[in-house]
Amino acid sequence: MAIAAAISLPLTSPTRCYLNISDQFRSLSSSYSPFSTCQFNFFKKDSTRICPSVRISTSASMSIQTPEKSSPPTSFLDRRESGFLHFVKYHGLGNDFILVDNRNSSEPKITPEQAVKLCDRNFGIGADGVIFVMPGINGTDYTVRIFNSDGSEPEMCGNGVRCFARFIAELENLQGKQSFTVHSGAGLIVLEIQDDGQVKVDMGEPILKASDVPTRLPANKDQSVVKAELNVDGVTWNATCVSMGNPHCVIFGSKEGQNLQVDELKLAEIGPKFEHHEMFPARTNTEFVQVFSPSHLKMRVWERGAGATLACGTGACATVVAAVLEGRAGRNCTVELPGGPLQIEWREKDNHVYMTGPAEAVFYGSVPL
C-alpha cells in the first residue's frame, strides 16, 4: 500500500515538498531530513491522511503528535495547486526519473535549470532525469520529452519510457495490458504494458550510419563504425557506434587487451573522456560490455548528461546491436546491468529493437517552484 508524506525540501529558497512514499520506503523518510525540521503527513495514494503527522528534527528524533482529522478527498495525481510541481518518482532498474504530468501543454512545466536542481541528490529530489508526459503529435497517443540531470535534452530514454508507460496507466487509471504510441526525439516508439506489469518497448530501428549516430570516426563497414580504433587517454579501444535515437559508443575491449572485466573499470575516470571525446560531436553514452555467452552480456554505462547510472535502456539495445555486428552474440540477449537485467531482441524481420523490463513507482511528491 502506498502512503504519502510531506517534507520540507529547500531548492532555491526555503520551500516545502510533499512526498508520498510507499511502505518499503517509509524508513527512507528519516534520511530525507537534512533540514532543520521536516513536516511529514502520511497519506494513502488517494491522498486520505491515514496516520498522525510526524515532526522530525535534524537529530532524526521523532515525536508522534495528535492525529489530525480530515484530508483532501482528491487523488494525489489530481492535485493542481499552482506554484507547485506535482510529480511521481519512478525507476527502471535503478535508473530513476521525476515524472511530470504535462498532458495539458506542449511546453515542459519546468526549465532545464530547474530540472538540474530537482535531480540533485543532495539538494533536490534526486534523479537521473525528468520526463514529461505531453499531448501526442502526428497521430500518436502521447509525446515524451526528457531532461538529463545536467539539463541537456536527449532524444530518447529506454528505461524512462517504461516508467512513462506505467505513469500513463496510473494517470488514466488503466489496469492490465495496455499499449500506447509515443512521439519521441527518436521518432515513433510503441509501449506495451504486459500482464505481469513489465513494459515491452518497440524502440524502432537502430541507426548505424556514422554521420547520423553521430560520430567522426571513419566508417569501416558499409557506412557504419564497427570495432574501430578509438584512442582515449593513451589506450586504443575497439568501438562500435550505434544510435537508438541517441548516440552510443559500445566497447567490448581494447586493441591490446583481453575481453573486458567490467567490474574492474574505473568508470568515473574514463567515462567522461569518452563522453566529451572529439569523435562524438553530440557527446556520447558509452557502454562497457563483458560477454558471458551469445545470449548473456554484462554491461556498465557512462551516460551522456547523467554519468554512471544503474541501467540504460537505449544503451542495452545499442549493446546487443553492437554485439551482433561484431559477431559476439545472437539477436536475443539478456543484458545484465548494475540495477538488474533487461531482455533485448534485435528482430531480423523488421530490423526493430525490442526491450522488455520493469518500471516501478517510488513515491509521490510536490515541490514549490
Ligand X SMILES: N[C@@H](CCC[C@H](N)C(=O)O)C(=O)O
Q: Which residues bind ligand X (CB under 6 A)?
A: 95, 148, 154, 157-160, 246, 285, 303-306, 309, 312-315
Classify 76 as helix, strand or coil.
helix
Q: Is 157 marked active-site?
A: yes
Q: Considering the complex, state which of residue 260 and residue 316 has its C-beta at the smaller distance from ligand X.
A: 316
Grid coordinates standing for 310? Answer: 544503474
Question: In whole angstroms, how close is the CB of 150 to ligand X at the nearest point?
Answer: 9
Q: How many CB atoms lie within 10 A of CB 200?
A: 19
CB-count burial class (<10 Å; 0-12, 13-18, 19+) for 149? buried
Q: Which of 38, 241, 249, 312 is catalytic?
A: 312
Q: What are the beta bridge partners of residue 285? A: 248
Q: Considering the complex, state which of residue 124 and residue 158 has its C-beta at the smaller distance from ligand X.
A: 158
Question: In whole angstroms, how close is the CB of 115 to ligand X at the nearest point?
Answer: 13
Q: Is 51 marked active-site?
A: no
Question: In whole angstroms, how close is the CB of 95 to ligand X at the nearest point?
Answer: 5
CB 247 within 8 A of CB 215: yes
Distances (CA, A) of 236 to 217, 232, 252, 295: 13, 6, 12, 27
Q: How many CB atoms lie within 10 A of CB 141?
A: 15
d(CA 121, CA 95): 13
d(CA 5, CA 364): 8
Report residue 323: phi and psi, to 5°. -65, -40
Q: Which of 157, 163, 317, 333 is catalytic?
A: 157
CB 320 within 8 A of CB 344: yes
Question: In whole angstroms, how close is the CB of 63 to ligand X at the nearest point?
Answer: 41
Question: In whole angstroms, how close is the CB of 316 to ligand X at the nearest point?
Answer: 8
Q: What are the beta bridge partners of residue 253? A: 238, 259
Q: Which residues are catalytic?
A: 157, 312
